[in-house]
Structure 1
Amino acid sequence: MTQAAPTLAVRATAERSAATARTATKRRPNRRIVLNIILGLFAILWMIPVIGLLVTAFRSTTDAQTTGWWTAIGNVFGQHWTTTNFVTAFTNLDLGTNFFNSVAVTVPATVLPIMFAAFAAYGFTFLDFKGKEVYFAVIVGLLVVPTQVALIPVLQAYVAFTKATGIPIVGQFPAAWVYHSAFALPLAIFILRNYMSTLPVALIEAARVDGASHFQIFWRLVVPMSMPALASFAIFQFLWVWNDYLTAYIFLGDANPVLTQALYGLLGQYAQGWNLVAAGSFITIVVPLIVFFGMQRYFVRGLTAGSVK
């Protein structure tokens, strides 16, 4: 009897554990279903503006000006659908010039902050110097500074530089490169430093023992292993600069207009070209979509790395 009692107790405990596990297993599918429904609703809400833009892109000017796009969904066969908007938008966007200008602004404004931020992140991660944490805290604090607050001061600095040196910078591509890169550096350093802090320190130390310099360690070890973080920030920066209107308008103006400025021009003098703007928007997002889906496999890895150590 003395040995049977513990055996019965063990069996009872095992049965309770099995019952609990079966109950949890039954609940998991229900939770997943609820979670999928919630995420689906959020996805639908997020897609509503895109759906409205797509519907407007196929509507005539009269329909777009007189009724909302949601009325077209309820009266599909009573609308005048047309593809002329895409043809007109493609022609008026002047892709031969404006597309080149957008690429000429976006690519350097993406590469420059990545290059400088990678050097800085390496220093904050693997070098020891006085005040390192304070400097990094200041850089993180700069993330809250909006880009709009510096537009006028930077423009005045550009004008003063031109007067002092005789080198025109306003209206030229470097004016946008410097501005975009300066405001992108804090986020780039933050992302890359967090990612580099997850890299194996033993590997870096082994390279140092073998006589590798910081330059060799950076280019041969750290940069290849940091590709997910580099790609993640490249996606962010590329999309931001490609879709930017205000900075290009202030620093480039009509001298080197980009696609977003041409897209605004489709609206017309009396703001009657919403259907053309909608069609032009889908034309201009082709390149960002290619960049995003081409680098998507790095995106999540680069953002989540360093969040938990």
Structure 2
Amino acid sequence: MSSVVGTRPALTWAVHLSVLFLVALWTLPTLGILVSSFRDKDQLAVSGWWTALVPAERNIVARAAPPEDAVAENGNWIIAGNVFEGSGKATAFGISSREPAAYAVGDTVELRDGGRLTLDATGDYTISYVKKPDGNRGQRIFVTSVEPPKFTTANYRTVLFSEGLGKSFINTMTVTIPATVIPILIAAYAAYALAWMQFPGRALLLATIVGLLVVPLQMSLIPLLRLYNDIGIGKSFIGIWLAHTAFGLPLAIYLLRNYMAGLPREIIESARVDGASDFEIFRKIILPLSFPALASFAIFQFLWVWNDLLVATVFLGNNEEQLVLTGRLRELLGSRGGNWEILTASAFVAIVVPILVFFAMQRYLVRGLLAGSVKGG
């Protein structure tokens, strides 16, 4: 398979298959979230997204109509109804939580109050009494049912029309855009200096920046917040802009410096021979050539800040006026966090803008990252 005349070698096919596998591994969870976001909440709670197109089996607890609704028919008192709110197919039923599937559909069961319960596959039940029953609560019926697939847009309506979502969206944009632009501006100047300017301690400064890449940001949250409170910018947008700038600068400087150091030296030297200053070289030559690297970091920083919850909670808090989108969606889940239908719909609402940004700039991502990783100066 590995001839020189054109047959693709086995290694090429292995690489292609590996890439396809990684793409599938990356996209399948996203597909699962998308499918789950449109599913009925009851079916979502009992079955996985891959079963969305097949009937789902679940257990429900229904309560029959109260005895006061009984009507006289042929000398007996009859209570009738359906256990399903919509459509469904019953496969078994019971009258006790200990044995919820003790009887097959069509069986007749003796109740403790003297009634006789019958349930058919459509969910229709009949309870007959010899004499008029007493009481004000209906009989509990445990049903094992098979329901057809249900899809709904109610999950998205709940998320999109929740109170305060629009304000939180604006707050997130207010945080994300400056927190993306500011570190790029600072890092571009610093990267040029580290790549093309000679000054004492340059190597030590670069090593320090590389070392900062592995420092967990959680270590600095409390000291930084105390500093912000002391100088009067705690719980403000200025504070969170500066925090995200500080957390993003090491990666930004590292990527941009590697990219700029790999630019053709002849161009820089020719500009200096022509009398161009460092600022003119930076503005007229380096910046236009470094756009792929700038775009690469912009994507990373935008995604990081947009999806952030921890830093926003620490430096902005949870007040209604400054609550970001991730904080608002977290509140929709409630204290138990078991509303999976809200969680999945919220996930897609939150990633719409990052997806648009990524696809708008993704052609620069690989170019910037590869150039920054293999070139150096």
| TM superposition score category, shorter chain reference | 0.7 to 0.9
Tell me, yes or no, if structure 1 residue 57 matches structure 2 residue 37: yes
Is the CA contact (8 Å cut-off) linking 1:122 and 1:218 kept in structure 2? yes
Partner Cα distance (2:294, 2:211) in 1: 21
Give the structure 1 partner of residue 361 of structure 2. 295
Give the structure 2 partner of residue 173 of structure 1. 237
Counterparts of residues 132-147 of structure 1 (less than 5 Å): 132-147=202-217
Is the CA contact (8 Å cut-off) linking 1:191 and 1:229 kept in structure 2? yes
Partner Cα distance (2:44, 2:335) in 1: 16
How much does 1:207 deviate?
A: 1.5
How much does 1:55 deviate?
A: 2.3
The structure 1 residue matched to 2:225, chosen from 155, 159, 162, is 155
Is the CA contact (8 Å cut-off) linking 2:171 and 2:324 kept in structure 1? yes
Give the structure 2 partner of residue 8 of structure 1. none
How much does 1:93 deviate?
A: 6.5
Partner Cα distance (1:283, 1:22) in 2: 48
How much does 1:94 deviate?
A: 3.4
Give the structure 1 partner of residue 80 of structure 2. none
How much does 1:202 deviate?
A: 1.7
Give the structure 1 partner of residue 158 of structure 2. 88
After superposition, the Cα gap between the structure-2 partners of 1:306 and 1:53, relative to the gap in structure 1 and judged at 3 Å, is closer
Give the structure 2 partner of residue 101 of structure 1. 171
Secondary structure of the residue aligned to 1:80 is coil
Deviation sequence 1:160-189 (CA, Å, 0-9, x none)? 223xxxxxx222111111111101111101
1:245 is aligned with what amino acid? L
Give the structure 2 partner of residue 249 of structure 1. 313
Q: Tell which structure's C-alpha radius of gyration is larger.
A: 2
Tell me, yes or no, if structure 1 residue 36 matches structure 2 residue 16: yes
Partner Cα distance (1:71, 1:36) in 2: 29
Give the structure 1 partner of residue 26 of structure 2. 46
How much does 1:211 deviate?
A: 1.8
Unmatched segments (≥5 aa) in structure 1: 1-20, 163-168
Give the structure 2 partner of residue 119 of structure 1. 189
Give the structure 1 partner of residue 199 of structure 2. 129
Give the structure 2 partner of residue 214 of structure 1. 278
How much does 1:294 deviate?
A: 0.9
How much does 1:139 deviate?
A: 0.6
Is the CA contact (8 Å cut-off) linking 1:120 and 1:189 kept in structure 2? yes
Partner Cα distance (1:53, 1:155) in 2: 35
Partner Cα distance (1:69, 1:198) in 2: 47
Deviation sequence 1:146-168 (CA, Å, 0-9, x none)? 11111111111112223xxxxxx
State TM-score, norm by structure 2.
0.71
Secondary structure of the residue aligned to 2:373 is coil
As a proportion of its length, which structure holds more helix? Answer: 1
Give the structure 1 partner of residue 143 of structure 2. none
Secondary structure of the residue aligned to 2:161 is helix
How much does 1:133 deviate?
A: 0.7
After superposition, the Cα gap between the structure-2 partners of 1:121 and 1:72, relative to the gap in structure 1 and judged at 3 Å, is same
Give the structure 2 partner of residue 260 of structure 1. 326
Calculate percent identity across the aligned residue pairs.
Answer: 48
The structure whose RCO (Cα within 8 Å, separation 6+) is larger is 1
Bigger Cα displacement from structure 2, 120-129 vs 73-82:
73-82
Give the structure 1 partner of residue 371 of structure 2. 305
How much does 1:266 deviate?
A: 1.8
RMSD, aligned CA: 2.0
2:209 is aligned with what amino acid? I
Secondary structure of the residue aligned to 1:28 is coil
State TM-score, norm by structure 1.
0.85
Tell me, yes or no, if structure 1 residue 188 matches structure 2 residue 252: yes
How much does 1:229 deviate?
A: 0.5
Is the CA contact (8 Å cut-off) linking 1:114 and 1:188 kept in structure 2? yes
How much does 1:29 deviate?
A: 5.2
1:243 is aligned with what amino acid? N
How much does 1:288 deviate?
A: 0.8
Bigger Cα displacement from structure 2, 40-49 vs 261-270:
40-49
After superposition, the Cα gap between the structure-2 partners of 1:101 and 1:80, relative to the gap in structure 1 and judged at 3 Å, is same
After superposition, the Cα gap between the structure-2 partners of 1:140 and 1:22, relative to the gap in structure 1 and judged at 3 Å, is closer
2:329 is aligned with what amino acid? L
Bigger Cα displacement from structure 2, 285-294 vs 40-49:
40-49
1:267 is aligned with what amino acid? L
Partner Cα distance (2:202, 2:163) in 1: 48
Is the CA contact (8 Å cut-off) linking 1:93 and 1:259 kept in structure 2? no
Partner Cα distance (1:304, 1:287) in 2: 25
Counterparts of residues 63-78 of structure 1 (less than 5 Å): 63-75=43-55, 78=148
As a proportion of its length, which structure holds more strand? Answer: 2
Is the CA contact (8 Å cut-off) linking 1:121 and 1:189 kept in structure 2? yes
Give the structure 1 partner of residue 295 of structure 2. 231
How much does 1:88 deviate?
A: 1.2
Partner Cα distance (1:267, 1:205) in 2: 59
Give the structure 2 partner of residue 15 of structure 1. none
